[in-house]
């Protein structure tokens, strides 16, 4: 737990612009400038961590992992876990309108807090925070329950890496014609990448693509080992 030497930095990080008429008239008293800095500090820490720990990982995969870990969805989850919304200074009207739970406000405040930690304690303090609350929670932060078009996502993944388009093959059919169950495998190049079943070929293909994407995601986020987190090499 970091104890701030400059309490003004912490207050600024937690100040939403809606509170300025009540708590201060200077636009720089709000956290927007800190949020800009925090965005860059967060990117640097995450990329530095990945680059040092996985020297053979290609740029495309590094970029994909970094994008997942610093996405708005991930930062919102962290901010909610830390209950940052309870500490934000904002106007009463903003709070009544759900400001303490609004994704954009929580994301920006978290980035402002990372900047405040960096300015008050240096890169090592900011890095410890990012490792503990973001890098060590990679799998949870990058998991989404959204209903997606998995075939399109798998196609995009393949095209982005110069791989042939996914190939779907029926490997089994069960049940009567009016209640048929299909089993389908999906290949990326010559590699069996996923398997799925469903009561239609389309659903089975989606499930196979989903299975393939899950395996790919597990492979690229399994780099996190919370028992021995890597700190930033920047001092």
Binning pLDDT at 50, 70 and 90, where does residue 185 land? Answer: very high
Residue range 157-169, pLDDT digits in tens: 887 777 888 999 9
Q: Is residue 229 part of a domain?
A: no
The most confident of 1-10, 14-23, 69-78, 197-206, by mean pLDDT: 1-10
Q: Hey, which residues are catalytic here?
A: 39, 111
- The residues, any chain, with a CB within 8 Å of residue 163's CB and separated by 6 or more, are 157, 188, 189
Are 11 and 126 in the same domain? yes
pLDDT for 31: 94
CATH of the domain at 83: 1.10.1520.10
- Which stretches of 29-91 are DSSP H helices? 32-53, 59-69, 72-81
Are 204 and 134 in the same domain? no
Residue range 74-133, pLDDT digits in tens: 888 899 999 999 999 999 998 998 889 888 899 999 999 999 999 999 999 999 999 999
Q: Is residue 227 part of a domain?
A: no
pTM over 0.75: no
Query: What is the residue range of 77's domain?
Result: 7-141
Please count the structural domains in the chain.
Answer: 2
Residue range 19-50, pLDDT digits in tens: 988 765 677 889 999 999 999 999 999 999 98
Q: Is residue 232 part of a domain?
A: no
């Amino acid at each position: 737990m970091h104890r701030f030497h400059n309490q003004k930095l912490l207050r600024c990080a937690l100040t939403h612009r809606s509170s300025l008429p009540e708590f201060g008239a200077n636009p720089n008293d709000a956290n927007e400038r800190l949020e800009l800095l925090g965005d860059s500090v967060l990117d640097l820490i995450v990329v530095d961590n990945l680059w040092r720990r996985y020297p053979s990982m290609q740029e495309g995969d590094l970029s994909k992992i970094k994008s997942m870990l610093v996405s708005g969805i991930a930062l919102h989850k962290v901010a909610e876990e830390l209950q940052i919304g309870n500490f934000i200074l904002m106007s009463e009207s903003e709070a009544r309108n759900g400001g303490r739970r609004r994704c954009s406000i929580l994301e920006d405040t978290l980035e402002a807090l990372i900047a405040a930690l960096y300015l008050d304690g240096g890169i090592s303090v900011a890095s410890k925070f990012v490792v503990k609350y973001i890098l060590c929670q990679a799998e949870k932060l990058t998991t989404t329950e959204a209903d997606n078009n998995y075939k399109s996502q798998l196609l995009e993944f393949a095209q982005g890496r110069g791989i042939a388009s996914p190939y779907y093959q029926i490997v089994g059919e069960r049940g009567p014609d009016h209640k048929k169950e299909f089993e389908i495998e999906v290949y990326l190049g010559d590699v069996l990448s996923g398997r799925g079943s469903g009561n239609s070929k389309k659903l089975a293909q989606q499930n196979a693509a989903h299975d393939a994407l899950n395996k790919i995601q597990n492979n690229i986020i399994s780099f996190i080992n919370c028992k021995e987190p890597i700190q930033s090499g920047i001092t």
